[in-house]
Copies of this chain bind each other. A is one copy, B any other.
Amino acid sequence: MASDHNIAELADLFRLLGDTTRLRIVLACVSAPVSVGDLAHKLDLSPSLVSHHLRLLRAARIVKSERSGKQVFYVAADQHISGMLADMLDHISEPHPEAD
C-alpha cells in the first residue's frame, strides 16, 4: 500500500500541476529548455509570475534549471515527468464513456 509520506509527496506533485498557469509553464518547457523571458512572452505572463511558479516547480523537482549568461533555462526534470504528462494528456483526450 501507499505510505503516508508517499501520499503526501504525491499530493504535492498533483497540487503543483493542478494550477492552469503552472501546468502551461511545465508543458511549455517539457521537451526543450526555455528561458524565463521566453516562457513569459510565449504564455503572455509576467516574468515575475513565471519565476514564482518555476521556483515551486523546481523545489518539487518537476523542472530543473540551468543558467546561460543572463538567462536561466528551465526544462522538465526527467523522463518520468515528461512521460507522465504525455500519458495524462492521452488519458484526457480519450472519449469519456458515459457512466455514473
Q: How many copies does the complex hold?
A: 2
B11:A17 contact, CB within 8 angstroms: yes
Roughly how many angstroms separate A11 CA and B15 CA in the complex, as a whole number? 9
Q: In the complex, what residue of chain B is closest to A19 when comparing beta carbons?
A: B11
A18:B14 contact, CB within 8 angstroms: yes
Given A20-B7, A23-B7, A100-B64, are A13 and B92 neighbors across the interface (CB < 8 Å)? yes
Roughly how many angstroms separate A78 CA and B95 CA in the complex, as a whole number? 13
The contact string, 1 if C-beta is below 8 Å from chain B, for chain A 60-77, is: 010011000000000001
**Distance to closest chain B CB from A63 (angstroms):** 10
A56: interface (CB < 8 Å): no
Q: Which of A41-100 contact B (CB under 8 A)?
A: 61, 64-65, 77-78, 80, 84, 87-89, 91-94, 96-97, 99-100
